[in-house]
Amino acid sequence: MNTQLAPVPGRHDHPPQPVRSPETHPVRRVGLIDRAAMHLGVALIRWGRRPVRARRRERPALAPESISARRELDRVRDEHLVLKLTQFR
């Protein structure tokens, strides 16, 4: 399947756009306000993406209910594992 077909001459689905010369397109100079706005925008983006460091002092202490619930969960999981392991003997 190495058949290559030559394009049909005179048929173009997407003709190329005409190229403008630099003289026809006026160059717009960037003003001081535009530059300041760009720098402010970049600074706000960089400031918004800065890494957040969690402080250890502000971490909430675990409630006694959650500690007891965690212990109960561990105890039930251990009982379940013991029952499952004894089935294979």
Q: How confident is the model over 8-44, as pLDDT tens digits?
A: 666 556 667 676 676 766 777 889 999 999 999 999 9
User: Which pLDDT value is given to residue 13?
Assistant: 63
Residue given tokens 């007891």 in the structure block = 68
Residue in this structure with the two tokens 């010369």, named with its chain if needed: 21
How many CA atoms does the CB half-sphere of 2 hold within 13 Å? 0
Q: Which tokens belong to 29?
A: 């100079």
**According to the model, what pLDDT value does residue 29 have?**
85
What pLDDT does residue 88 have?
64
Largest CA distance in the chain: 90
Q: What is the mean pLDDT of the chain?
A: 80
The reply to whether the predicted model has a pTM over 0.85 is: no
Reply yes or no on whether the pLDDT at 68 is more than 70.
Answer: yes
